[in-house]
Amino acid sequence: MSSLRSDLRLAWELTRGSDRGEWWRVALTATGAALATGFALAAVALAALRGSYRVPVAAGLLDEPGTRAGVIVGLLLLLVPVLGFLGQCARIGAVHRDRRLAGLRLAGATPWQVRRIAALETGLACLLGSAVATALSLLLLLRQWDRPTALAWVGIALVAVAVPLLGAAAGALALRRVVASPLGWVRRVGPRDGRGPGLLFLAGVLLVAVVALLTVTTTSTAAPNRPNGEPPLQLMGVVLAVGAGAVWLSGATAKATGRILAARARSAATLIAAERLRDDPWSAARTHAAVLLVTVVGTGFMGIRQVLSDVVRTERNLAESASYYTTGLDLTGAAIVVAFAITLSGLAVGTAESLATRRRGLAAQAAAGVPRTVLGRALLLETALPLAPAVLLAGLGGTAIGTWYALLGDRPVPWAIALVPVAVYAACLLAAATSLPLLRRSLRPGELRYA
Amino acid sequence: MIGMSTRHILLGLLATGPSHGYDLKRRHDERFPQARPLAYGQVYTTLQRLVRDGLAEVEGTDSDGGPERTMYRATEKGTSELARWAAEIAPPAPFVTNEIFAKVVVAILAGGAPAAYLSAQRAAHMERMRELTAVKAAQSADLATVLSADYALNHLDADLRWMNTTAARLATLTAEVDAA
Amino acid sequence: MSRPVPVLTASGLVKAHGRTTALRGASIELGAGEILAVTGPSGSGKSTLLHCLAGIVRPDDGSVTYDGRRLEDLPEKRLSELRRTEFGVVFQFGQLIPELTALDNVALPLLLAGTGRAGARERAGEWLERFGVRGQRDLRPGEMSGGQAQRAALARALVTGPRVVFADEPTGALDSLASEQVMTALVHTAREAGTAVLLITHDAQVAAYADREVQLRDGAVAQLGVTA
């Protein structure tokens, strides 16, 4: 216990003495953890309900087990962009932190001690986020629900504890190479292959998917004969298949784009961006994968929404009031918008981090007279180039889903949804552009002085 | 190359085969480009002593169309003496004789200007270093030239570093010398 | 001996970083085609002087004149263009883009100047050849030795045919042999092209490659060396 306390103190001292990048990581990791906890708690609370209830929010959508399952799945799917966001946060100041922990190893810390310290750093940030989110969620829940069931309490406790624990585990896992070779990491800041974290993300997505499927099957047992039980499952299968492909696709397109453009680049900005992509195509794969997923889901949803609105407007004999359906659609839409916002934040954080890591090199470029505009353009191109083919493909996938749904219901094909990927692409560029002021600040000659 | 044994260098040059005095001087100056050139008289007297000590002997005379010249070659004793000398380590600075340090101390004792002296000495050292660097950086420079210039440059650099730290600590040194 | 016409003149430079003053009225003159060493102990303001002279930072007071133009009157955009076209810079490390090959790194200034990719790469190859690192053209900076990377950096600094090259401890991270190769390459090329070099170093053996030495002490010029 005393060793844990000394590790804890060391972790705290190290974080306190570190620069602003570390504080950003802690703050953003805590935010991500809070979001994850919030979504998971809502899902758990809903999953704890069995059979029909009268839930005073969302126009009766939460009353029936079937639709409730849909909402739960939606909430769980929101965890996917949050995972992407957390992955991006973990990279903030990563080079710095890796060196510091490797330094600890050189100073005689055992691999386990280093792992514990790293796990404590991440775990504490997650604990902070999870505690805040749990407290807020409980306040909200107790207002809506007089007497939550024992199952709900167990679920809530489980989520509140699991988030920091998973965070700590991920923190320790991300450091396996630092722990293995302290010397290499002190000396060299080489490009990493990035597949490890990408796999971590994929594993997270799979976990979410399995949980989501379980939820649908268990909560739907109250009404096993519902005729609409199958299409949502099929839809989810499609979304998952597209999503799993997305991680691979975004890395692969980044690599291919880099390779093709590097050979043909005519301008300095394109050359720099292309070579960076070729060198480390996986660095942004997680966020880009989340962008792709959001694009697929968003485009597909817009199609479905248009078809369903058309149905609600034209059909006379609906089982429920029109607001029941529109609320459902609006809720889903809101969830997608939230997911997209989180993804964009992840993208912005990733771009800022990539800038911060390269501060000294960028300052040297500026000193050598490389115009700021060229460096800025290269930065934007790094996001724009690999995303273009990927978003295009994802847009096609989403449009296919929407079209398929329209044809299924024998409704007019919603062509307007093809605009969604364009909007997504533009928003991503804007998110990346938020780093441009940071670029200006990075190009200080003071950066030239130190190793 | 202070304190270097001219005897052994000549023995070394004779190791490649018999040679006469003028040829030995020419080859010496070629081999050791930045060293002080050998005077012919010095070569002659050294050869006489080598013969006296049985380390070299006269091979014969050779006129080669010009004036008559005496050819010398190393004896077996000379060859073994050369091998002994070449393998013997040079004593690493047995006595610290440092003219610059002596001048600094004397300047303090006599109430002179040690700082000004060090500064001027430093400039002279730099000047010599620039000359040697120009010699070694010339495109025509062969490796022997580069290496001998490097040897001198490293020694001058060591002096220079010593002068820099001494200049920075003159006040303490003055107090110490004056107190004694 | 007569001094060459000055190409770069600085007078009374003052520059503070926060609460520490790096330069307190430093004045210096660099002749056309001259190789000038600036030496001095750590913290004497050597790097800050180079940054001011190269128009990378603006001094708090004092003036830098290049080719009849006062740098403090130029907007950042023009300064950047000046650094790109008429100056070259070499630092101890960091000036090569780690993701680009040696060849593309050297070609970069030409690309920025509007030369086509093929032409830029061809000329970059010639310059790598001059510095004896053509064999490393397809390697990235991390794959080269320190000396090779610095020679590629010199090629990059000289490829546009600048009038002044600023070198801040270019051999600071190298052993003596690699340092000798880098300095010989720099001096030969600069003399051949008539490029002036401002060389910052704390190493007397590196400073000895210069025509002249200027010593900095506490942010001002301490003593002028003898003109060679």
Query: Would you state the pLDDT for residue A187?
Result: 42
Rounded Cα distance between A242 and A390, Å, is: 12
Query: Would you state the pLDDT for residue C2?
Result: 60
Q: Residue B3 has what DSSP assignment?
A: T
Please report, for residues A145, A146, A229, B41, C71, the alpha-carbon distance to residue A51 in angstroms, rounded to integers and kept in the order given: 16, 18, 16, 120, 78
User: Has residue A62 been placed in a domain?
Assistant: yes
Tell me the mean pLDDT in the region C168-180: 88
Query: Would you state the pLDDT for residue B49?
Result: 92
- What is the β-pairing status of strands C6-17 and C61-66? antiparallel
**Cβ separation A369–C81 shorter than 8 A:** yes
User: Has residue B128 been placed in a domain?
Assistant: yes
Amino acid in the structure at residue C114: G
Q: B129 and B152, same structural domain?
A: yes
Q: Residues near B143 by Cβ (< 8 Å), separated by ≥ 6? A: none
Q: A231 and A107, same structural domain?
A: no
For B132, the domain range is 99-179
Q: A449 and A397, same structural domain?
A: yes
User: Has residue A203 been placed in a domain?
Assistant: no
Option in B119, B139, B160 nearest C204 (CB) = B160
Q: Is A6 exposed, middle or buried (0-12, 13-18, 19+ CB in 10 A)?
A: exposed
Q: A297 and A248, same structural domain?
A: yes
Last-in-domain residue among A151, A176, A195: A195
Is the Cβ–Cβ distance between A143 and A216 less than 8 Å? no
Task: Provide the phi-psi class of A271: left if phi over 0, else alpha when psi is between -120 and 50, else beta.
Answer: alpha
User: Has residue B63 been placed in a domain?
Assistant: yes
Last-in-domain residue among A195, A217, A241: A195
Is the Cβ–Cβ distance between A183 and A106 less than 8 Å? yes
Q: A175 and A242, same structural domain?
A: no
User: Has residue A204 been placed in a domain?
Assistant: no
For C61, list phi and psi in degrees, rounded to 5: -150, 160
Option in A272, A367, A372 nearest C83 (CB) = A367
* Token pair recorded at residue A138: 């409980």
Query: Would you state the pLDDT for residue A59?
Result: 58
Q: A357 and A233, same structural domain?
A: yes
Taking CA–CA distances from C36, the nearest residue in chain B reads: B130
**Cβ separation C84–A370 shorter than 8 A:** yes
Q: Which residues of chain A have pLDDT under 70?
A: 1-2, 15-21, 49-67, 91, 93-95, 146-148, 174-244, 246, 283-284, 286, 316-322, 446-451
Q: A13 and A138, same structural domain?
A: yes
Last-in-domain residue among B40, B61, B87: B87
User: Has residue B94 been placed in a domain?
Assistant: no
User: Has residue B1 been placed in a domain?
Assistant: no
Any long-range contacts for B70-73 (C-beta under 8 Å, 24+ apart)?
B70/B20, B70/B21, B71/B18, B71/B19, B71/B20, B72/B14, B72/B18, B72/B19, B72/B20, B72/B21, B72/B24, B72/B47, B73/B14, B73/B17, B73/B18, B73/B19
Closest residue by Cα to residue B125 from A104, C216, A439, C207: C207
Could you tell me the CATH number of the domain that includes residue B65?
1.10.10.10
User: Has residue A411 been placed in a domain?
Assistant: yes
Rounded Cα distance between C92 and C47, Å, is: 11
pLDDT surpasses 50 at C96: yes
Residues of C in contact with A270 (CB under 8 A): none
For A413, the domain range is 226-451
Taking CA–CA distances from C109, the nearest residue in chain A reads: A370
Query: Would you state the pLDDT for residue A318?
Result: 65
Rounded Cα distance between A420 and A443, Å, is: 36
Rounded Cα distance between C97 and A362, Å, is: 9
Residue C86, helix vs strand vs coil? coil
| CA quadruple C67, C72, C73, C78: dihedral sign | positive
Q: B162 and B125, same structural domain?
A: yes
Please report, for residues A81, A415, B86, the alpha-carbon distance to residue A402 in angstroms, rounded to integers and kept in the order given: 22, 9, 91
Last-in-domain residue among B57, B87, B117: B87
Q: A145 and A76, same structural domain?
A: yes
User: Has residue A108 been placed in a domain?
Assistant: yes
Option in C56, C77, C142 nearest A190 (CB) = C142
Cβ neighbours around A230 below 10 Å, total: 9
User: Has residue A212 been placed in a domain?
Assistant: no
Q: Chain C within 8 Å of B116 (Cβ-Cβ)?
A: no
Rounded Cα distance between C112 and C123, Å, is: 14
* Token pair recorded at residue A252: 């692969």
Share of chain C above pLDDT 90, in %: 50
Residues of B in contact with C213 (CB under 8 A): 126
Rounded Cα distance between A313 and A305, Å, is: 12
Taking CA–CA distances from C77, the nearest residue in chain A reads: A371
Domain count for chain B: 2
Last-in-domain residue among B87, B117, B134: B87
Last-in-domain residue among A142, A175, A195: A195
A109/chain C closest Cα distance in angstroms: 29
Q: A232 and A181, same structural domain?
A: no
DSSP C90-138: E-SS--S-TTS-HHHHHHHHHHHTT--HHHHHHHHHHHHHHTT-GGGTT
Domain count for chain A: 2
- What is the β-pairing status of strands B19-20 and B69-74? antiparallel
Q: A307 and A160, same structural domain?
A: no
Is the Cβ–Cβ distance between A47 and A219 less than 8 Å? yes
User: Has residue B121 been placed in a domain?
Assistant: yes
Cross-strand pairs, C15? C23
Cross-strand pairs, B72? B19, B58
Residues of C in contact with B156 (CB under 8 A): 204
Tell me the mean pLDDT in the region C69-98: 87
Rounded Cα distance between B175 and A201, Å, is: 70
Tell me the mean pLDDT in the region C30-54: 90
User: Has residue B92 been placed in a domain?
Assistant: no
User: Has residue B133 been placed in a domain?
Assistant: yes
User: Has residue A208 been placed in a domain?
Assistant: no
Is the Cβ–Cβ distance between C144 and C111 less than 8 Å? no
The four Cα atoms B38, B40, B46, B50 give a dihedral, to 10 degrees, of 110
**Cβ separation C188–B137 shorter than 8 A:** yes
Q: A403 and A286, same structural domain?
A: yes
**Cβ separation B126–C210 shorter than 8 A:** no
* Token pair recorded at residue B171: 């006040």
Q: Chain B within 8 Å of C228 (Cβ-Cβ)?
A: yes
Q: B70 and B38, same structural domain?
A: yes
* Token pair recorded at residue A253: 């397109």
CA angle A114/A115/A119 to nearest 5° reads 120
Query: Would you state the pLDDT for residue A178?
Result: 60
Residue B110, helix vs strand vs coil? coil
Query: Would you state the pLDDT for residue C198?
Result: 96
Q: B10 and B64, same structural domain?
A: yes
User: Has residue B93 been placed in a domain?
Assistant: no
**3-class secondary structure for A195-262?**
HHHHHHHHHHHHHHHHHHHHHHHHHHHHCCCCHHHHHHHHHHHHHHHHHHHHHHHHHHHHHHHHHHHH
* Token pair recorded at residue C110: 């030409």
Q: A33 and A130, same structural domain?
A: yes
Q: Which residues of chain B have pLDDT under 50?
A: 1-3
Residue A394, helix vs strand vs coil? helix
Q: Residues near A439 by Cβ (< 8 Å), separated by ≥ 6? A: A355, A362, A372, A375, A376, A379
Is the Cβ–Cβ distance between C174 and C12 less than 8 Å? no
Q: B36 and B75, same structural domain?
A: yes
Q: B13 and B67, same structural domain?
A: yes
Q: Find the DSSP H helices in A107-148.
A: 111-144
Residues of C in contact with B162 (CB under 8 A): none
Cβ neighbours around A359 below 10 Å, total: 19
Rounded Cα distance between C144 and C98, Å, is: 11
Q: A97 and A1, same structural domain?
A: yes
Closest residue by Cα to residue A135 from A168, A159, A170: A159
Query: For the CA atoms of chain A, what is the radius of gyration?
Result: 24
User: Has residue A433 been placed in a domain?
Assistant: yes
**Cβ separation B126–C207 shorter than 8 A:** yes
C4/chain A closest Cα distance in angstroms: 26
Count the residues in chain B: 180
Residues of C in contact with A449 (CB under 8 A): 47
Q: Chain C within 8 Å of B129 (Cβ-Cβ)?
A: yes
Amino acid in the structure at residue A338: V
Q: B60 and B34, same structural domain?
A: yes
pLDDT surpasses 80 at C108: yes
**Cβ separation C226–B129 shorter than 8 A:** no
pLDDT digits (tens, 9 = 90+) for C10-41: 999 999 887 888 899 899 999 999 999 999 88
